[in-house]
Amino acid sequence: MLTPAHLIQLKRDGEELSPEQLLQFIQGVSNGQVADYQATAFLMAVYFQGMSLSETVALTDAMLASGERYDLSAVPGTKVDKHSTGGVGDKVSLILAPLAAACGLKVPMMSGRGLGHSGGTLDKLESITGFDVHLPRDRFEQVLREVGCAMIGQSKSMVPADKKLYALRDVTGTVECIPLIVASILSKKLAEGTNALVLDVKVGSGAFMKSREQARKLARTLVQVSKKMGLPARAILTDMNQPLGYAVGNAIEVLESIEILRGDKAESDRCSSDLKELTIQLCAHMLDLGGVVKNVPEGRKLAHARLQDGSAWEVFQKLVRAQGGAMEQILEPERKLPQTSSAVIWKAPKRGYLVKMDTEVMGRILVELGGGRKKASDSVDPRVGLIFHKKLGSRVASGEPMVTVNVPEKRGNGPDLELLERQFQEAIEVSSTRKPVPKLIFEVLS
């Protein structure tokens, strides 16, 4: 048996580690025999040296073996989940889980909290008072069986190695590393017991992968490792050069999701149409992968129908009830979801076309306002948020409202309005010449 230091040296020097060596190291991370500084040195070595496909598979397997793995075979039906690599305004899961369930799948969705500038499904769900994302295993199974979907966070016993490594990566500059991302995501998806997985790999200014090339590589590795681990998967590359939908912020994203589920939005409503379109498309891929339909176009038809006839909205209500959420908040979200009483409006500095938005900055503004965390122990303010009135490519008049910012009431220490103004000025570009708008969905890898 090699010592942790020796294994780190091997990886530092670009050697390929064997499955046994990776298992030994990850076991050491979980049981405390590998110190945090050694785990961090290992992560940095992987960051610089990368990993082969077989090492990435072995790392995923070792991380999966660090904790409990759910067996959902007693729950009838095909279980298919979706995972997004993270973005701004990405509330798709809130609509998609009930929609896919309404179409006949079982959706065991294990989600995360906000990370860096990107939002997290658990934080959004928790803006509904009482919504419990920590269901014990048998209750999780029961909700899945009875409602068709269940939405929870990673339990203490699930993939503890990822918990530890993730926390270290977050503070040591080792998040953006393909083998580490792949092992982190897939070990958790394999542990939750899904039968198949659709991956929404985000690309652009608000994503962790800024270029298509990087995103494609991540998507390819996710699909390859998934298949080698026996989990059928498909990756959809989607645009994150502007927030998805119109809302960014925890409670306001729940409101936007409910508007889509209730069918409030006209087809012509540009600000939410990308959100609806992406949800339908991801649902179609889930249905196709799960064998509910023969192909993706058929999946789209079914998803559209179940959204239109209110069945997805019904499933969402059942889900909230089953997980302890306050029903009055989702039945009257405009009045009862948490909200601030103050707002500021950022207006277009000149007329022209909206051509660029640094979407990561939008996510960071939300974090600054308290809607996300700067450190793991921070609590989030569900009320704050940003409402975007224009999408890329829109024509804007000088002085027209571009973004409404729901700010916390001043408690001696309100938001720095001058800083906010500067951030918007730098991050949002209005130009007299139109520029092409990136396609929302631009590639499917399977």
Please list the active-site residues: 83, 162, 169, 184, 188
For the stretch 294-299, contacts whose Cβ atoms lie closer than 8 Å and that sit 24 or more positions apart, written own/partner, are 299/103
Least gap, CB of 190 to ligand URA (angstroms): 12
CB 38, min distance to ligand URA, A = 20
The yes or no reply on residue 111 touching ligand URA (CB under 6 A) is no
Smallest distance, ligand URA to C-beta of residue 85, A: 6
Q: Applying CB under 6 A, does 384 fall inside the site for ligand URA? A: no
181 near ligand URA, judged by CB under 6 A:
yes
Angle at which helices 417-427 and 359-366 cross, to 10°: 160
Contacts for 246 with CB less than 8 Å, ≥ 6 apart: 89, 256, 271, 272, 387, 388, 389
Closer by beta carbon to ligand URA, 159 or else 315: 159
Asked if 158 interacts with ligand URA (CB under 6 A), we say no
Query: What is the chain's length?
Result: 446
Using the contact rule CB under 6 A, the part of the chain among 2-10, 179-187, 248-256, 340-348 near ligand URA is 179-187
Question: Per CB under 6 A, does 63 bind ligand URA?
Answer: no
Nearer to ligand URA, 40 or 85 (CB): 85
Please tell me whether residue 160 binds ligand URA under the rule CB under 6 A: no
Shortest CB 443 distance to ligand URA, Å: 19
Min CB(177)–ligand URA separation in Å: 8
Which window, 18-26, 49-57, 181-189, 240-248, contacts ligand URA (CB under 6 A)? Answer: 181-189
Whichever of 105 and 159 has its CB closer to ligand URA, that residue is: 159
- Judged by CB under 6 A, the residue of 75, 97, 185, 201 near ligand URA is 185
- How far, rounded to the nearest angstrom, does the alpha carbon of residue 435 sit from its chain's CA centroid? 28
Distances (CA, A) of 88 to 14, 121, 246, 274: 35, 11, 10, 13
Q: Are 208 and 86 in contact (CB under 8 A)?
A: yes
Residue placing its CB nearer to ligand URA in the complex, 110 or 365: 110
Closest residue by beta carbon to ligand URA: 184
Contact with ligand URA (CB under 6 A) among 60, 184, 242, 359: 184
Angle at alpha carbon of residue 283, lines to 282 and 289, rounded to 5°: 90
Residue 36 CB, nearest approach to ligand URA (Å): 18
Residue 281 tokens, joined: 């498309």
Residue type for position 60? T
Site string for ligand URA, 85-104 (x = CB under 6 A): xx------------------
The answer to whether residue 122 forms part of the interface with ligand URA (CB under 6 A) is no
The region of 25-33, 94-102, 176-184, 192-200 touching ligand URA under the rule CB under 6 A is: 176-184
- CB closer to ligand URA out of 84 and 339: 84
> In this chain, which stretch among 49-57, 180-188, 298-306, 407-415 interacts with ligand URA, using CB under 6 A?
180-188
- Neighbour-count burial of 22, counting CB atoms closer than 10 A to its CB (0-12 exposed, 13-18 middle, 19+ buried): buried
Interface with ligand URA by CB under 6 A: which range of 8-16, 177-185, 314-322, 429-437? 177-185
299 lies in the binding site for ligand URA (CB under 6 A):
no
Question: To the nearest whole angstrom, how small is the minimum distance from the Cβ of residue 192 to ligand URA?
Answer: 12
Distance in Å, CB of 86 to ligand URA, minimum: 6
Residue count, binding to ligand URA (CB under 6 A)? 7
Tell me whether residue 180 or residue 198 sits nearer to ligand URA (CB atom): 180
| Residue 112 near ligand URA by CB under 6 A | yes
Question: Least Å distance between CB 107 and ligand URA?
Answer: 18
The contact set with ligand URA (CB under 6 A) reads: 85-86, 112, 180-181, 184-185
